[in-house]
Structure 1
Amino acid sequence: MPHARGYPPPGRVVIWRSAMLSGSETFVRNHGQALARWRSVYLGATKEESALAEESDLVVYPDSAAGRRAFLRLRLTGSSPRLTRMLARLRPDLVHAHFGGDGWLVSHAAAQAGAPLLVTVHGHDVTRQPDSSGILGGRYRRNLRTMFERATVVLAVSEHIRGKAIALGADPEKVLVHHTGVPVTPALATPKRWDVVFVGRFVEKKGVDDLIDALGALPTPRPRSLLIGDGPLRDRMRARAAELRLDATFLGAQTPAQVSRHLAESHLLAAPSKTAADGDSEGLPTTILEAAVQGVPTVSTRHSGIPEAVVHGETGLLGAEGDSTAIAHHIQKLLGNPGLRERLGRQARERVETRFDLRRQSDRLEELYDAIRAGAAPGVRSAVPPGRR
């Protein structure tokens, strides 16, 4: 065991997400499963019916009138005797919350349990939500500042998101960039069925409207395209694709295994993310990394943390946000040049292997957990070797 090599004995981390667990949040599930030395317990306020939900997940507020009232109290006050009691019974060495609002929800109970709090901020929690107007926006910003004060460490999924957290009041010494990573498994050997694949929620920040327009601007025969996911814009995008006579297949939400297979069956991934009108933006879309594992290059945008994963001309092609003309040009360029596609896909996988391997990133995360448990935070930067951040 690692303990014999000088590591501290295993610790217990409670991984907190208020809705346990949305089908799109593979990064939360992967996080706990990849830990080698620390034991993880998944704790949520409520249970989601999704492909990622597991029987072992613990839920604080069952779907009952009493449970809903207790959860409402937590959302309104940030305090819940029921949550405090459950954390006390679990006796965690550390609580790791995902998303800023959820970090605030669990912060009081973590303090009562004597457990240091680490919070990962991902995107909309430090972009769109703090920009909300009125009472709700003011309340969210206040809660976020409280979370920043209570958290021992704040992790950001990209440099862009780190800057957003600091601008909202987080202590720069507390905020570290940590790429969650993806499992680096052998690429699937499967024939190519699709020219272009899109994976994500059908919301404005994903830029699916720009992708549809880009595909419509290409000469016939149009690329055979697969669009995976659900969301409020899906029906509108399907209608627009029909209007443009695209060769497009729309699938709903898929399991992680199905997504991996569809990525492997595609020549390229389109991830045309952009900042939405309400300020919502990405952190770093996991699907870009998952495509790279399959040796599939990405056509994307210079948005948020995406350039940290997609290097223009080396692992994919990047254009400006909202530029459907550039998206169309880059799709056409890759589809018309198999050699370039293969080279970019190979280099994309190499970049994931060196910078975004879930196992390596989890090793680094466990080192951070060890440093926090040892009382080396705040100022924890000095406790984690520079090359291991």
Structure 2
Amino acid sequence: MRIVIIVSDFPKVTETFVLANALHYLDAGHDARIFHLKPFRTGEVIHGHAQRAIERGFTFGWLSFGGLMWALGRPRRLGRVVAQIVRGFAKEPKRLAASLAIVPKSCALARACARDGTGHIHAEFAGYPATSAWIAATLSGVPFSFSAHAHDIFLTQSLLAEKAQDARFVRVISRFNRDFLAALPSFPADRLEVLRCGVSLPEPTPTPSPATPWRLLFVGALLPRKGVEDLLEALSRLADLPIHLDVVGGGRLREGLEAMAQQMGLDVTFHGAQPSDAVRARMRDAHLVVVPSKQGDGGRSEGIPVVLMEAMSEARPVVASRLSGIPELVEDGVTGRLSGPGDPAALAGAIRAALTDWQGTLEMAQRGRARVAEHYDIQKNAAALLARIEEEAA
């Protein structure tokens, strides 16, 4: 069966689950393709094993006249989706313009799906990818579904209910997201299914023994909602503990964060973006992986960060924010430690507790790995999502 996966950006190193799902579908004998709304991203650091999925990416031009002409042959269907987009985003002109901008290439995708016998369309996000999938499915008659992760449902709820009503199912990655969507007016709660994201499970390696200094690790984009400035402030409150922090990731805040760390006299190394195998290696060398996320502008928020799943799959201790679906993975005092988002003092307390009760922290890390193995194994979860897609396409 041909399965079309829709994303906005491709490839994107922070969306490794997209490639993992595509590889699973390919290994299961399906013809998986990845349709990206924006131009192909050159310069992303992608591991070589994902090349098969990278080669399955494709897109169409923003002004796909052939697709529009084909769609005009189905005027009632095309008129319906355009009218619903206009009504849905009437009070959000920027999102209205962006949604209308993807109509031509979504029409081209619809034509391609109708002609090549595509069996199912799945959008990996509830925003523009789901809008594109909805347009293509409405015009072509191919069944579709979409996933809801994080800020794709928090930034705006416009048109979410309409898309869900036409979808075969809506996959949510956490109970938090399920409850959030189910509470929306007119949203069909019976379409919601919790199918978690996941990571690959490596062979276990010994956790580093207590050492001087303690090695802490942050992995992520250097953006305000990632909370790196809160982490630096927290470390300034832990001057009595010898700590070295490695920061892996790039972003517009790097220069300011480097200056902040230097001014505070902290022992921090900024490494920039690194490939996934290098990130995993740094996790194995770390005593503690810290994910101090907080809500960003306009409601941007984490779902369940991949970096947490990866660190816990390595049986590495974690400290994270009590935010969105994170507590479903990091249960405070059981599989890791939590602190309030945007609260450097609480974050410092959680880090101190983790380092001073090292034996208890190691026991939490082992329980964390067990939780990932049970609920966040990418092979199991990709297989579950594929089973639902196969069921709807049957």
1:234 pairs with 2:233: no
Aligned to 2:252, the other structure's residue is in SS state coil
Matched positions, count: 351
1:185 pairs with 2:202: yes
Q: Which residue of 2 aligns with 1:121?
A: 148
* Superposition deviation, residue 113 in structure 1: 2.8
Name the CA distance, whole Å, in 1 between partners of 2:317 and 2:130.
34
Alignment of structure 1 residues 271-310 onto 2, 5 Å: 271-310=291-330
1:106 pairs with 2:133: yes
Give the counterpart of 2:45 among 26, 47, 51: 51
1:30 pairs with 2:46: no
Identity of aligned residues (%): 28
* Superposition deviation, residue 109 in structure 1: 1.4
Q: Which residue of 2 aligns with 1:18?
A: 8
1:272-300 Cα deviation digits (max 9, x unpaired): 22222432111111111100111101111
1:333-357 Cα deviation digits (max 9, x unpaired): 2223331232111111111111111
CA gap 1:48/1:76 in 2 versus in 1, 3 angstroms: same
CA gap 1:111/1:355 in 2 versus in 1, 3 angstroms: same
1:231-279 Cα deviation digits (max 9, x unpaired): 2322222221111111111121221111111111101111122222432
* Superposition deviation, residue 211 in structure 1: 0.9
Name the CA distance, whole Å, in 2 between partners of 1:241 and 1:322.
18
CA gap 1:221/1:194 in 2 versus in 1, 3 angstroms: closer
Structural RMSD (CA): 2.7
Name the CA distance, whole Å, in 2 between partners of 1:146 and 1:327.
40
The answer (yes or no) to whether the contact 2:33–2:58 under 8 Å persists in 1 is no
The answer (yes or no) to whether the contact 1:320–1:326 under 8 Å persists in 2 is yes
Which one-letter code corresponds to 2:59 in the other structure?
Answer: V
The answer (yes or no) to whether the contact 1:157–1:178 under 8 Å persists in 2 is yes
What TM-score, normalized by structure 2, do the two folds share? 0.81
Aligned to 1:29, the other structure's residue is in SS state helix
Q: Which residue of 2 aligns with 1:259?
A: 279
- Name stretches of at least 5 consecutive residues in structure 2 with no aligned partner: 69-96
* Superposition deviation, residue 373 in structure 1: 2.1
Which one-letter code corresponds to 1:354 in the other structure?
Answer: E
The answer (yes or no) to whether the contact 1:297–1:344 under 8 Å persists in 2 is yes
Q: Which residue of 2 aligns with 1:137?
A: none
* Superposition deviation, residue 68 in structure 1: 12
Name the CA distance, whole Å, in 1 between partners of 2:177 and 2:381.
18
The answer (yes or no) to whether the contact 1:269–1:299 under 8 Å persists in 2 is yes
Name the CA distance, whole Å, in 1 between partners of 2:3 and 2:222.
33
Aligned to 1:269, the other structure's residue is in SS state strand
CA gap 1:79/1:239 in 2 versus in 1, 3 angstroms: same
Name the CA distance, whole Å, in 1 between partners of 2:24 and 2:368.
22
- Name stretches of at least 5 consecutive residues in structure 1 with no aligned partner: 1-10, 131-140, 375-389
Which one-letter code corresponds to 1:37 in the other structure?
Answer: A
Alignment of structure 1 residues 1-389 onto 2, 5 Å: 11-35=1-25, 37=28, 39=30, 40-45=32-37, 46-49=39-42, 50-52=44-46, 54=51, 55-61=54-60, 75-76=100-101, 78-80=103-105, 81-101=107-127, 102-127=129-154, 129-130=155-156, 141-169=157-185, 170-188=187-205, 195-374=215-394
Q: Which moved more, 1:345-354 or 1:28-37?
A: 28-37
1:331-387 Cα deviation digits (max 9, x unpaired): 12222333123211111111111111112212222221233224xxxxxxxxxxxxx
Which one-letter code corresponds to 1:158 in the other structure?
Answer: S
Q: Which moved more, 1:67-76 or 1:276-285?
A: 67-76
The answer (yes or no) to whether the contact 2:2–2:119 under 8 Å persists in 1 is yes
Name the CA distance, whole Å, in 2 between partners of 1:333 and 1:181.
28
1:104-161 Cα deviation digits (max 9, x unpaired): 023211233322111111111111x21xxxxxxxxxx444343223322111111112
